[in-house]
Amino acid sequence: MPSSHIPVSPLPDRRLTPFDRLLSAVDQAARTVLTPATANRPYPAENLPETVESDRDRKHVAALMRVNHTGEIAAQALYQGQAFVAQSEAIRQSLMDAGREETDHLAWCSQRIEELGGRSSLLGPVWYGSSFAIGVVAALASDRASLGFVAETERQVVDHLQTHLEQLPAGDRRTKAIIEQMAQDEARHGQEAMAAGGMILPAIARRLMRLTAKVMTRTAYWI
């Protein structure tokens, strides 16, 4: 992503009402789940040769990218849920900006899935709705806890992406380029969230987050 907006940004000219926030959340949900994403940056796999040839490898890589696509839907929803109840208007706006920047990842995953003849998860609305709720709960504690949740989420995402790199067929430079760029972006998001005042979450919260992510990724691989 060009630059994350997690650091506190200037206050907007007009504070949104709760109804404004609700309309914004509904609009973003519809855009994320129902409409194709458009990236603002070049496709990382552009001009790299296609080397995934066998049906087995194509299905496997497409399933991995379906999991990543699902993760990006969840990321959009988490940011929106956190922004919906953020106590600071500046942090709320920053979370919404960061969520919009995840659109690049969503578009890249979708394009790679299409190249491989795969499909996105059939449970997109479920992933979005549940992740939005988790984001709301995380942000209700405090803005510091909300930023800490962003940082921990991104840390776990980077670990997850690393496991996908290890599962790719030898020579699959196209998928590797996409995942590596995503991992770089997510790592930076986490670092900037902590720099903006995020707190380290309790161990039990981190374990629950990892368990929830495991259920989502294992399900999305197949459905």
Question: Max CA-CA distance within the chain?
Answer: 55
Q: Residue 193 is part of which domain span? A: 18-34+49-222
Residue 26: pLDDT above 70? no
* Residue 128 in domain: yes
Number of domains forming the structure of the chain = 1
* Residue 60 in domain: yes
C-alpha distances in angstroms, 76 versus 58, 81, 99, 183?
27, 9, 5, 16
How confident is the model over 150-169, as a mean pLDDT? 94
Q: What is the mean pLDDT of the chain?
A: 84
Find the length of the chain.
223
* Residue 7 in domain: no
* Residue 93 in domain: yes
Residue 3: pLDDT above 60? no
* Residue 66 in domain: yes
Short-list 164, 149, 132, 137, CA closest to 29: 132
* Residue 5 in domain: no
**Over the stretch 58-76, which tens digit does the pLDDT of each residue have?**
999 999 999 999 999 988 8
Q: Are 115 and 131 spatial neighbours (Cβ–Cβ below 8 Å)?
A: no
**Over the stretch 176-203, which tens digit does the pLDDT of each residue have?**
999 999 999 999 888 888 988 889 998 9
* Residue 3 in domain: no
Distance of CA 74 to the CA centre of its chain: 6
Q: For position 80, which CATH number holds?
A: 1.20.1260.10
Q: Dihedral, CA atoms, 46, 51, 54, 60, nearest 10 degrees?
A: -60
* Residue 168 in domain: yes
Residue 34: pLDDT above 70? no
Residue 92 has, within 13 A of its CA and on its CB side, a CA count of 21
